[in-house]
Amino acid sequence: MAQRTLCCAAALLLTVVLKVAGADLSPAAGEVSVRVAEPAMNEVFAEGATMTLIAEASAPPGRIAKVEFYNNDQLIGVSATAPYQLSYGRGGLLPGNYSIHAKAYDDRGRSAVSPAVTVTARRRAQWTARSYDYEETNEGALKQARLTIPDGLGVVRGVLVFSNAAGGDTREAWKQSWCREFLYMHDFAFLGTKAFNSHSETLIVFHNALRQFAGDSGHREIESAPFAIFGFSAGAGFAMTLLDDRPDRVIACAAVSARNVRMDSNDAVAATPLCLISGEMETTLNAWIVPLMEASRPKGALFSWMSVQGFAHRFAGQQVLAIPLLDQAIRLRYPVGQDPLKGPVQLLPVDPRNGWIADHTTWKSGLTTITPYADFKGPLGTSSWLLNKDIAFIYRAFATYDNPLKITSLPPTTGEPPVLDPGARLTLLVDDSAFPHWRSMEFFAGAQKLGEAHAPPARFTVSDLKTGVYAFTVLATDAKGIARTSNPALVLVRKLPKEAP
């Protein structure tokens, strides 16, 4: 009996000591815990990809002060607020093995280290290409063009034309990720230029170059293959001049900050999808575009226009809209089974009724209004015609002013779009700090809804991506029904080479 009393007294004394010593010694206080939620153990990335790092951490009853991410012993970065996440490899992962762990600290100075997660970045098979050069003196200036054709391409189905700005040179621009993967995806060649500054005279040089390229490369179909055309500044002016000259061969045209434009909007030109992108501060240029849209849109021209917030005369990221437009236009207008070796490709006409309409007057309202063609009731002169619902969703995200949501796991619009391999998994991380009281958040690729969230964290993972051009956006809605969008983020999932070099 005395022994039992002694035990009970000891237990009571132990309880009192624990309470006096404080929460750090009490089992109820818990410990700091942390684990790496992404990437997954043994996940495989392609060379050049970006890795999303996500940690889950807790420290009851206190709070987590920060989480550090490491590759082996190298500090990658720090996240101080939940959800604890960041992107690694903005310049592209190098081939090799990575051992990722996280270390969490709480507000009492305690810390914990997670188990390591091992992942691999594999060297990817690379495409190769061959280039052909042409030069001609015209107007007292040496004008140069270069045609680049992917190796192993049996038939060139079309030509992506990217003409230079004044003083610029786009002959090697095909090496940019969004150009290069576009070529391989569609079996297109690339035509870049230098000193193509005067448009009507340069047209002669352009067609002379095509004839020589057809002979030099052995691809006679180049003389009859259609064009997807893109340009900035004077290059955009040449793109529109080429559209005016050969609308029968132009699939679609994206013109960024067009200068020195000579264009007659005849019926054939008006029936070709044209997207004009300018900068908000290009007042002289915008003063030219407004009357063009007011005159052409009521007549049914398939033209669109948007002005990038905060931009002056600068090429920086407009491909986030231009490349999806050209990609979708090729898929819509290029007839199945058409062989340019047998003569000019008869491009399919575009039915305006299948498009969508954007209202320019709503750019600064918080969310640019987009509607199906049949549902638009506003004045056509202040509207844009958009190729389809996918392009409308991308346009809405790019055109809307003061987007409060930011996709942070991908490079900014002005950065180089990442290239993934087919089957890749991608996590979209969203900074929602400027719109924190959302009730639902929808994640889109074009207009395809990928999924949604109804509470933080603001992220979504999409798996098994197929070859194609993706422009991801987010649309969040609060309790009052107010919807806000994110910036668009461009990603290309490449067409793999048939065999590694």
Residues 336-378 pLDDT 10s: 988 999 999 999 999 999 999 999 999 999 999 999 999 999 9
What's the order of all strands across the beta sheet hosting 370-372?
Answer: 370-372, 356-359, 383-386
Residues 124-162 pLDDT 10s: 888 899 999 999 998 888 999 999 999 999 999 999 999
Average pLDDT of span 100-126: 93
H or E stretch covering 283: helix 283-296
The whole-number pLDDT of residue 90 equals 72
The whole-number pLDDT of residue 61 equals 87
- Alpha-carbon dihedral 308, 312, 315, 319, rounded to 10 degrees: 10
Q: Which amino acid is at 188?
A: F
Confidence of residue 106 (pLDDT cuts 50, 70, 90): very high
Tell me how far CA of residue 282 lies from CA of 278, 306, 313, 465, in angstroms: 7, 12, 6, 38
The whole-number pLDDT of residue 459 equals 92
H or E stretch covering 287: helix 283-296
Confidence of residue 476 (pLDDT cuts 50, 70, 90): very high
Q: What is the mean pLDDT of the chain?
A: 90
Name the pairing type of β-strands 51-58 and 33-38.
Answer: antiparallel
Percent of the chain whose predicted confidence (pLDDT) is above 90: 77
Residue 27 has pLDDT above 70, yes or no: no
Closest of 253, 271, 263, 373 to residue 321, by C-alpha: 253
* Alpha-carbon span 248 to 495, nearest angstrom: 28
The whole-number pLDDT of residue 411 equals 84
Count the neighbouring beta carbons within 10 Å of the beta carbon of residue 42: 9
Residue 239 has pLDDT above 60, yes or no: yes
Confidence of residue 279 (pLDDT cuts 50, 70, 90): very high
The whole-number pLDDT of residue 264 equals 63
Name the pairing type of β-strands 129-138 and 111-113.
Answer: unpaired
Confidence of residue 95 (pLDDT cuts 50, 70, 90): very high
- Residues near 155 by Cβ (< 8 Å), separated by ≥ 6? 187, 219, 221, 339, 340, 341
Structure tokens, 331? 């898929």
Residue 180 has pLDDT above 80, yes or no: yes
- Residues near 167 by Cβ (< 8 Å), separated by ≥ 6? none
The residue that leads in pLDDT, 275 or 288, is 275
Given phi > 0 = left and psi -120 to 50 = alpha, else beta, which region is 310? Answer: left
H or E stretch covering 419: strand 419-420
The whole-number pLDDT of residue 299 equals 93
Residues 428-455 pLDDT 10s: 999 999 999 999 999 999 999 999 999 9
Residues 256-276 pLDDT 10s: 998 766 666 689 999 999 999
| Alpha carbon of residue 85 to chain centroid | 21
Residue 9 has pLDDT above 70, yes or no: no
- For 267-340, list the strands marked E by DSSP: 274-279, 303-308
Residue 21 has pLDDT above 80, yes or no: no
Rg, Å, the chain Cα set: 28
The whole-number pLDDT of residue 498 equals 66
The whole-number pLDDT of residue 5 equals 40
Residue 56 has pLDDT above 50, yes or no: yes
For the chain, list the domains and their CATH numbers. Answer: 27-122 (2.60.40.10), 129-394 (3.40.50.1820), 403-493 (2.60.40.10)
The whole-number pLDDT of residue 29 equals 53
The whole-number pLDDT of residue 266 equals 84
Structure tokens, 218? 């052995």
- Residues near 199 by Cβ (< 8 Å), separated by ≥ 6? 237, 238, 241, 260, 261, 262
Structure tokens, 95? 């081939």
